[in-house]
Amino acid sequence: MCGIVGLFLKDKSLEPELGKMLTSMLITMTDRGPDSAGIAIYGDESKGSSKMTVQSDAPDLEFSGLDSALADALGGAVSMQVISTHAVLSIPAGSFEKARQTLSEVRPNVRIMSRGDTLEIYKEVGLPKDVAARFDVSSMSGTHGIGHTRMATESAVTTMGAHPFNTGDDQCLVHNGSLSNHNSLRRKLRREGIHIETENDTEVGAAYLTWKMREGATLGEALESALDDLDGFFTFLVGTKDGFGVVRDPIACKPAVMAETDRYVAFGSEYRALVDLPGIETARVWEPEPATVYFWSHNTLPTNTEKAA
Amino acid sequence: MQTVDLQEMGLRGVNAALHAQADDTNQTAWTIENAKGAHAIACGLDAPIEVTVKGSTGYYCGGMNQQATIKIDGSAGPGTGENMMSGKIVIEGDASQYLGATAHGGMIVVKGNASSRCGISMKGVNIVVQGNIGHMSAFMGQSGNLVVCGDAGDALGDSCYEARFFVRGSVKSLGADCEKKEMRSEHLTLLQGLLDEAGIDADPKDFTRYGSARNLYNFDVDNAAAY
């Protein structure tokens, strides 16, 4: 069992409240996943640079001088904001691969949580309320965000086993369920040259989407083919720079509730997670259909009906 | 009329107050406010009382109910009315998955749609849904009636026993060993009674009956190789 929450804002005036709203939703889902929690937040973008969020178990030691070490290697300005065990690095646009290479040489124990223009991922082991407080998620603003509370079934309770998983530039995945063919799929994806760090089933799901998109599929197409190639139970919530998408396996026993008003689209594993949202009493509330891909994007006009990607 | 606030009194407090009502209680009408999607609201009741829940409910509302009438002024979460024995549950909005699972008796009415696995392993309950139902509904249904005024999803009545299904709209697909059946006069009478009890205005003649083809009751030696 796990808990998922997500919020896609249509009303710009809610953007400063995003972190606060997501934190409240996340804490409500503690019963579904008390062992670790994580949040993906889509915030500000600055021209000419992109973000890389990294994590260390020894942040004082490992983050010290990391910005200047990267700046030297990348030959451009690098700034760093340390938040607890995480640091958000602003690096020159297009320099991610070199930054990853440099990081593995100068700080081999530092793990990359996310990369992208607007995406930041924060995740740690612990109760959702403690994880949210550690990163001060409630002070964060943004256009949309995804949160996850984990009750581990398929692999160890570690930071790297927590969700969300970064699947590519500005893309992330959270999962409620368990994949049963992740071992064979992991071998196949590693042969294809996809980097998979842990024995976690969801990371394989994320890597699968990365691989499909590397082969030319759109996110919507990758999710459609996931329905054929992933065996097991899943409710997935995927984030992109422009919005988020939902897909459930054909059996759909992992719960999902959505609510939409003219101000936001919200996702919760249970209705309980949505009860404090403004105007929830009059929101359109429904369950996403099994084996159907839904997507909401800031790049198109908001509509009252969901649409397949 | 007793009005209780779930957030103030807590779930255990509310359920304990409802459990304390005897068969001859004078406190026959209860309203629960601030439900906020909580789990197990009004579970395990056993008294002829009427409980109205304001707002949507989470998992297992009205589970194991006996005698009580529970009205949900909102939508209901997974497993609502699970293993109900008698009484009635009326859901004004939609119902989530496995509504009335294994329920032995009483009636559940859904004014909106019901999700997947509606009436799974039903054992005598009557379920009337004004809208549509999801896939794998009435899987292994043993007894009772499932009435659907809208459409049914995939694999209706898979591996069912003697439960009856009446669907007014389309059925996306029938499950293993479930078949379309003749609507005889006794079925029209039965269905009219169920619709009346549910307070839904519909003509029984517009419905199609489905039930077990009874081919899975006995082992077929031709299938031996499948095991």
Q: Which residues pair with A178 in a beta bridge?
A: A233
The predicted structure's pLDDT at residue A306: 41
Residue A87 lies in a domain: yes
Contact A87, A63 (CB under 8 A): yes
Pair A142, A157 in one domain: yes
Pair A158, A256 in one domain: yes
| Amino acid (1-letter code) at residue B124 | G
Which residue's structure tokens are 């700034």? Answer: A79
Phi, psi of B76 (to 5 degrees): -115, 140
For residue A202, give the CATH number of its domain. Answer: 3.60.20.10
Tell me the C-alpha distance between A50 and A41, whole Å.
14
- Predicted TM-score of the model (pTM): 0.93
In which order are the strands placed within the sheet that holds A111-116? A79-83, A86-92, A49-55, A111-116
Per DSSP, helices labelled H in chain B are 6-9, 11-19, 185-198
| Amino acid (1-letter code) at residue A1 | M
Look at A275 and B115 and tell me if their CB atoms are within 8 Å.
Answer: no
Pair A63, A33 in one domain: no
Of B37, B94, B116, the CB nearest to A272: B37
Pair A100, A133 in one domain: no
Q: Which residues, in sequence order, are CB contacts of A243 under 8 Å at separation 6+?
A: A8, A144, A295, A296, A297, A298, A299
For residue A50, give the CATH number of its domain. Answer: 3.30.70.980
Averaged over A12-26, what is the pLDDT? 98
Tell me the C-alpha distance between B112 and B124, whole Å.
22
Percent of chain A surpassing pLDDT 70: 97
The predicted structure's pLDDT at residue B14: 98
Sign of the CA dihedral running A102, A106, A108, A114: negative
| Amino acid (1-letter code) at residue A245 | G
Band of the pLDDT at A307, cuts 50, 70, 90?
Answer: very low
Pair A69, A167 in one domain: no
- Residue spans per domain, chain B: 1-93, 125-215
Tell me the C-alpha distance between A67 and A91, whole Å.
9
Which residues in A lie closer than 8 A to residue B94 (C-beta atoms)? 285-287
Look at A252 and B94 and tell me if their CB atoms are within 8 Å.
Answer: no
Tell me the C-alpha distance between A270 and A30, whole Å.
12
Tell me the C-alpha distance between A1 and A309, whole Å.
27
Of B37, B78, B94, the CB nearest to A275: B37
Residue A19 lies in a domain: yes
| Amino acid (1-letter code) at residue B218 | N
Pair A145, A222 in one domain: yes
Averaged over A287-297, what is the pLDDT? 93
| Amino acid (1-letter code) at residue A77 | A
Contact A8, A244 (CB under 8 A): yes
Peptide bond into A164 cis (omega under 30): yes
Tell me the C-alpha distance between B76 and B57, whole Å.
5
Contact B135, B115 (CB under 8 A): no
Tell me the C-alpha distance between A19 and A133, whole Å.
11
Q: Which residues, in sequence order, are CB contacts of B220 under 8 Å at separation 6+?
A: none
Domain finish residue from A64, A87, A117: A117
Per DSSP, the residues of A221-250 read HHHHHHHHH--EEEEEEEE-SSEEEEEE-S
Domain finish residue from A91, A117, A143: A117
Pair A54, A194 in one domain: no
Residue A304 lies in a domain: no
Residue A239 lies in a domain: yes
Name the nearest CA neighbour of B15 among B91, B23, B49, B24. B49
With a cut of 50, which residues of chain B have pLDDT below it? none
Band of the pLDDT at A300, cuts 50, 70, 90?
Answer: low
Radius of gyration of chain B (CA): 18
Residue of A nearest to B94 (CA): A286
Residue A84 lies in a domain: yes
Which residues in A lie closer than 8 A to residue B77 (C-beta atoms)? 255, 270-271
Mean pLDDT (chain A) is: 93
Pair A230, A292 in one domain: yes
Phi, psi of A114 (to 5 degrees): -160, 160
Of B36, B75, B116, the CB nearest to A285: B75
Residue A153 lies in a domain: yes
Pair A29, A138 in one domain: yes
Query: In three state form, how does the secondary structure of B74-91 look?
Result: CCECCCCCCCCCCCEEEE
Please calculate the CA angle B80-B84-B89 and round it to the nearest 5 degrees: 55
Which residues of B sit within 8 Å Cβ distance of A?
A: 36-38, 55-56, 58-59, 75, 77-78, 93-94, 96-97, 115-117, 134-136
Q: Which residues, in sequence order, are CB contacts of A237 under 8 Å at separation 6+?
A: A4, A6, A146, A173, A174, A244, A245, A246, A267
Residue A275 lies in a domain: yes
pLDDT tens across B112-146, in order?
999 999 999 999 999 999 999 999 999 999 999 99
- Provide ipTM, 2 decimals: 0.92
Kindly report the nearest CA distance between residue A272 and chain B, in angstroms: 5
Look at B77 and A271 and tell me if their CB atoms are within 8 Å.
Answer: yes
Decide if A274 touches B, using CB distance below 8 A.
yes
First to last CA, chain B: 59
pLDDT tens across A82-140, in order?
999 999 999 999 999 999 999 999 999 999 999 999 999 999 999 999 999 999 999 99
Number of domains chain A contains: 2
Pair A9, A82 in one domain: no
The predicted structure's pLDDT at residue B218: 87
Residue A85 lies in a domain: yes
CA distances from A256 to A2, A268, B49, B82 (A): 11, 6, 32, 19
Q: Which residues pair with A246 in a beta bridge?
A: A237, A294
Pair A188, A207 in one domain: yes
Which residues in A lie closer than 8 A to residue B55 (C-beta atoms)? 275
Tell me the C-alpha distance between A70 and B106, whole Å.
69
Q: Which two tokens stand for residue B165?
A: 């299904």
For residue A16, give the 3-state DSSP assignment. helix
Pair A51, A15 in one domain: no
Q: Which residues, in sequence order, are CB contacts of A306 under 8 Å at separation 6+?
A: A258, A288, A294, A295, A296
Q: Indicate if the pLDDT at residue A303 is higher than 60.
A: no
Band of the pLDDT at A299, cuts 50, 70, 90?
Answer: confident
The pairing of beta strand B107-110 with beta strand B123-129: parallel
Decide if A291 touches B, using CB distance below 8 A.
no
Q: Indicate if the pLDDT at residue A309 is higher than 60.
A: no
Domain finish residue from A117, A145, A177: A117
Q: Which of A249, A270, A285 to mutate to test the interface with B (most CBs of B within 10 A)?
A: A270
For residue A59, give the 3-state DSSP assignment. helix
Q: Which of A272, A274, A292 to mutate to test the interface with B (most CBs of B within 10 A)?
A: A272
Contact B109, B199 (CB under 8 A): yes
Of B58, B94, B116, the CB nearest to A252: B116
Q: Which residues, in sequence order, are CB contacts of B219 under 8 Å at separation 6+?
A: none
More confident residue, A25 or A308: A25
Radius of gyration of chain A (CA): 18
Q: Which domain holds residue A261?
A: 2-44+128-297
